[in-house]
Amino acid sequence: MNVLRWMARAGLVVSALALTCQAMAQDFPSKPITMVMPYAPGGPGDVITRVFAAAMQKPLGQQIVVDNTAGASGAIGTAKVARAKPDGYTLLMIHVSHATNLAMYKSLPYHPVDDFEPIGRATSGPMLIAARNGFPAKNLAEFVAYAKTHADKVSLAHAGVGSASHLCGLMLMNALGVKFNDIPYKGTGPALNDLLGGQVDLLCDQTSGTVPSIKAGKIQAYAAAGRNRIPSLPDMPAMAEAGVQGMDINISFGLYAPKGTPKPVLDKLSMALQTAVVDPDVRQRLEAMGISAVPVELARPEALRAHLRNEIDTLGGLLVKAGIKPE
């Protein structure tokens, strides 16, 4: 009899919790949502976050406020979201650093998989290999040949250890079987400025920061850092066209909520994200930056979950292979 009573009470508790979650989802959102962008204002990630925040407001019917909580390769803002109440009102928009910070820091105050609920992927951002004007290679074939025979004379800039440009550079050196002179900067801006000024030879970075300077003739570009050409630079080949294998990197932003956020709330957020990725204005604004909104089938939790696990394995592994010691 006691067992039956316990089971009955347990059933009532479960039913009450289910009704509470259902009621929460029906009312959600009833106040503004905060979307944390864990990088500095003004950069590509900030612009991308604001584009999606504005687009997702429409189907959700509430304001989405962007909160730039930067520092420690995105770890500070990410930790803020991990600690937030799991009610759907605090979200995280982040790229590859969500995966690579596991290899960068000994004691992260969160786990990128275990402490978050994926909502969906938002963007797909190709990367490219750019050089200073005057670098002694006129095309991709000449670049590959020069890199393999003069690697010790080549300087490779990047935005800091663990950054997207650092990962791209590591992948490039691995694919070519060479070791360039690695020059870290505190952000993409200073690295690009020195490339423009001719102080460094190469930068492997996102199209959002480099395409305007390439089109203006201020720097030259050799290849897309992947298997396919980049739509905004259709005449530029992909690395695979030069027979270089193992060079395929793409920077994708994804949206997360704290672990424990009710599924009905996650479903509403994911539907809003899916609406945003097919919004013509969103696609136009992203394409102007050389970035694409993902197909709608990738703006779903399972797609982001699989993408994150792959990045932890492949890009985190790059850092380990390069001998990067966690802080």
Q: Structure pTM?
A: 0.83
Specify if 326 maps to a domain: no
Joined tokens for residue 306: 């699989």
Which residue has tokens 């420690």? 72
Do 246 and 276 lie in one domain? The reply is no
The amino acid sitting at 225 is A
Which of these three, 250, 278, 306, is where a domain ends?
250
Residue with tokens 């395929």: 248
**Mean pLDDT score, 90-99:** 95
Count of domains in the chain? Answer: 2
pLDDT at 138: 94
Q: Is residue 327 part of a domain?
A: no
Clarify whether residues 156 and 238 are in a common domain. yes
Domain-embedded: residue 52: yes
Q: Which domain holds residue 175?
A: 126-250
Helices within the chain (DSSP H only): 2-27, 44-60, 75-83, 97-104, 140-149, 164-176, 188-196, 207-215, 263-277, 280-287, 301-321
Flag whether 55 is in a domain. Answer: yes
pLDDT (tens digit per residue) in 200-259: 999 999 887 788 899 999 999 999 998 889 888 999 999 989 888 889 888 899 999 999
Residue 16 pLDDT > 70, yes or no?
A: no
Is residue 257 assigned to a domain? yes
Please indicate, yes or no, whether residues 130 and 115 belong to a single structural domain of this protein: no
CATH number at 234 reads: 3.40.190.10
Q: Which of 219, 250, 281 is the last residue of a domain?
A: 250
Is there a domain that residue 261 lies in?
yes
- At which of 250, 270, 304 does a domain end? 250
Assess if residue 202 is contained within a domain.
yes
The string over 208-240, giving b where at least 16 C-beta atoms fall within 10 Å of a residue's C-beta and e elsewhere, is: bbbbebbeeebbbbbbbbbeebbebbeebbbbb
Which residues have a Cβ under 8 Å from the Cβ of 171 and sit 6 or more positions away?
A: 204, 225, 246, 247, 248, 249, 318
pLDDT score of 290: 80
